[in-house]
Homo-oligomer: A and B are copies of this chain.
Amino acid sequence: MVILGVDPGCRISGYSVIYKSSTGVQLRQCGYLSMPATRTLPERVAQFHDFFKLKITEHNVTHIALETPFLGKNSQSFLKLGYLRGILYLLSVQHTLELIEFTPSQVKQALTGYGAASKEQVSYMVLKLFPTMTTPAKFDISDAVAVGLCGAWQTDSRLTYIR
């Protein structure tokens, strides 16, 4: 099981690649994709597509883990999030990946035991589980690791952490 956790955003998209085997769970890679505001929205959508298509083939990804989006104050941001999620949906079918979705509170609950935990708490717990990981520069990264972990946990939460 190779899970690609994604926290999509129109400027910054965090991602994590998590391997789960009989021996345990391993964070193989995490980071973020930066899409400059100088590019047009279609260009950014295409950049997002190419980047994640490459990650999927590079790591032989089998699952994509995502957070369920909720409409916030800005409906245009919500729509743009739809553009990026549409790309992940397309890639999931093209590469026969399973899509797993978690609500933000499910992710927080799973990582910290508290459904309304702060991003700092989630980031702290991610570092506890993977101490060799350098402190994520952005919450987008720790959020992507968190949602990826939820994907790994959904079938079995008693796992060994390969550090």
Contacts and interface: CB of A to CB of B under 8 A. Distances in A.
Interface of A: 41-43, 45-46, 49, 69, 71, 75, 78-87, 89-90, 92-94, 99
A80 B79 CA distance: 9
Copies of this chain in its oligomeric complex: 2
Contact of A86 (B43, B78, B85): B85
Looking at chain A's contact residues, the main secondary structure is helix
Given A75-B78, A79-B81, 12 more contacts: A42-B90, A42-B99, A43-B93, A45-B89, A45-B93, A46-B89, A46-B93, A71-B71, A71-B78, A75-B75, A78-B79, A79-B79
A58 to B, nearest CB: 20
8 contacts: A41-B89, A42-B89, A42-B90, A45-B89, A75-B75, A83-B85, A86-B87, A87-B87
A45 to B, nearest CB: 4
